[in-house]
Amino acid sequence: MSLAKIIAIVNQKGGVGKTTTAINVSSALGILKQKVLLIDTDPKANATSGLGILTKNINNSILNLYNGDKATRDCIIETCSPNLKIIPGSVGLSEIAVNLKNLNINSLRIALAEIKNEFDYIIIDCSPSLGYLTLNSLVASDAVIIPIQCEYFALNSLNNLMSSIESVKTSFNSKLSIEGILVTMCDKKGRHNKKILDDLEVGFRDQIFNTIIKRNISLSEAPRFGTSVHYYNTKSQGAIDYLNLSSEIIKNKSCMKTKLISKKIPKIINNEKLVLPHKLKVRNLDAYKAYSTNDDNYDKLKGLNKKEVVYYIGLMYNDIHSDVWMYRITKKKNLFKKKYLYLYFNNNRVKQIETKRFKFG
């Protein structure tokens, strides 16, 4: 196996779609049969929770990696998504970021060298700053993806970011390249957006991905269910956009030097079938309720594995590693009157199902 391509998702601005891109590009690359490791370096750990992993319930995180108290391989955990593993984020990371003496500018690069031959892609979600942690990520990376929100002010900060990347390149990491500028949250019909895209074309023509990520509600809803958009709403525009982007990234890797200049969004993905079970045609608990008129119908969940349950009804309040998952069925105000669906797993499969009122313990 060749060495992984390490790609950092960077922009010093918050709310531009870094984490959304990190989660869904990783998931899409995995669906396209690439072995992927996602690394969450943002102390907010949104990429981690967005994949259904609650940081309070796990012992491995990026913190162990930076502290050097665990081997890199021991910081990695499985996710529900095919071919996708993660080094979870940690709120403790913000302390490390201020305590610079623990940090060597090469920490992440050295840690990743140990496992680089086990993956095709390593995707790093960065925090919205160009501080020491992001610098560490840039030193460790082969390339960067720069998500920019489709709005006028995005262009102002893009020049700054480009020159910061250029100086990292000259001082620390000469192989660092721009994988692409990714336009996110675009509403293509708006004239305003069209003007921004035209301006971008002037300055950065060869660096913009052909794929543009459109504004799509499923992309913002999926993290609440602890899953990528591909398992939350398989046929949504967001799912398709991130699959297209990922196929562009795969193309770039196989012919490293020749960038696609064609304006057409690649349609390759239309031929890709998602390998998902299709026994039930529901995709969240509300849909499931509308479809099932009595409790017995939840029995259809029996025997499904965790991945399938996440696909069908999401991952409401649950830690993916626990063996009891609960879902609220009724919306009554009084906590004790609310009814819940409990799923009990054994060997990763739903063994028992109960609907009952909330109970402590």
Contact flags string 18-37 toward Mg ion, x per CB under 5 A: xx------------------
Q: From CA 62, how far away is CA 92, in angstroms rounded?
A: 9
Closest distance to ligand ADP from the beta carbon of 16 (Å): 4
* Choice between 30 and 43, CB closer to Mg ion: 43
DSSP state of 355: E
- CB-based contact 315:304 (threshold 8 Å): no
- When CB distances are held under 5 to 8 angstroms depending on the partner's kind, the choice from ligand ADP, Mg ion, none that residue 303 binds is none
Span 101-130, contacts to ligand ADP by CB under 6 A: 128
Examine residue 244 and tell whether it contacts ligand ADP (CB under 6 A).
no
Examine residue 185 and tell whether it contacts ligand ADP (CB under 6 A).
yes
Closest distance to ligand ADP from the beta carbon of 106 (Å): 25
Closest distance to ligand ADP from the beta carbon of 269 (Å): 17
Examine residue 277 and tell whether it contacts ligand ADP (CB under 6 A).
no
* Choice between 142 and 241, CB closer to ligand ADP: 241
Give which of 36, 192, 233 is closest to 121, Cα–Cα.
36
Q: From CA 42, how far away is CA 133, in angstroms rounded?
A: 8
Q: Vertex 202, ends 198 and 206: CA angle to 5°?
A: 105
Examine residue 220 and tell whether it contacts ligand ADP (CB under 6 A).
yes
Give which of 58, 168, 59, 73 is closest to 111, Cα–Cα.
73
- CB-based contact 44:125 (threshold 8 Å): no
DSSP letter for each residue of 240-271: HHHHHHHHHHHHHHHTTT------SPP-GGGG
Closest distance to ligand ADP from the beta carbon of 141 (Å): 17
* Choice between 64 and 127, CB closer to ligand ADP: 127
- When CB distances are held under 5 to 8 angstroms depending on the partner's kind, the choice from Mg ion, ligand ADP, none that residue 203 binds is none
CB crowding 5-24: b at 16 or more within 10 Å, else e = bbbbbbbbbeebbbbbbbbb
Q: Which residues bind ligand ADP (CB under 6 A)?
A: 14-20, 46, 128, 184-185, 213, 215-216, 219-220
